[in-house]
Amino acid sequence: MNERIVSAKIQVYELEELSEIEKNLIKLAQDATSRAYAPYSKFQVGAAALLENGEIITGTNQENAAYPSGLCAERVALFFANSQFPNVGVKLLAIAAQTGGSFTKECTAPCGSCRQVILETENRFDTPIRILMAGSEVIYAVNSITELLPLHFDKSSLNG
């Protein structure tokens, strides 16, 4: 048997350490949480995507009583961006969450399905997406979804 160690490089920030663009995107993701439709989990997530052309798209989680028919904030934002701007890549994605009227202290990372969609978006435009995962006490950042999804499945996996 062989063993491999797979690790992730995650940057840890306080809000003041980020650029003005990054702070603004986190603020937009936080604002979006108030528009989430989360009557079942009460876990409201917002995402804000900065596109290469300067457009900013926000998304919120949308729950449904018939699980798993809902959709996460990250996928709402990215699918909308890709449908409205099909030839424009995503530069930066910020994610924030609140529950019980307060933002989560720790960051909220994308779920597995969202990680796969972010990977597809990176591959579609052949450019990494910087991801900011904001909590009220800490912000994690990665420069590509591959840091959070090191053993990923993409189009090259289909070739055997």
Active-site residue, from 74, 120, 122, 137 = 74
Per the listing, tokens 């108030």 go with 34
Q: Long-range contacts for 51-55 (Cβ within 8 Å, ≥24 apart)?
A: 51/81, 51/85, 51/88, 51/89, 51/90, 51/91, 52/88, 52/89, 52/90, 52/91, 52/125, 52/127, 53/85, 53/88, 55/81, 55/85, 55/88
* Terminal alpha carbon distance of the chain: 23
Q: What is the rounded distance in angstroms from the CA atom of residue 86 to the CA atom of residue 79?
A: 10
Which residues does residue 48 pair with via DSSP β-bridges, in sequence order?
58, 94
Determine whether 52 is an active site residue: no
| 41 three-state secondary structure | coil
Residues with active-site annotation: 74
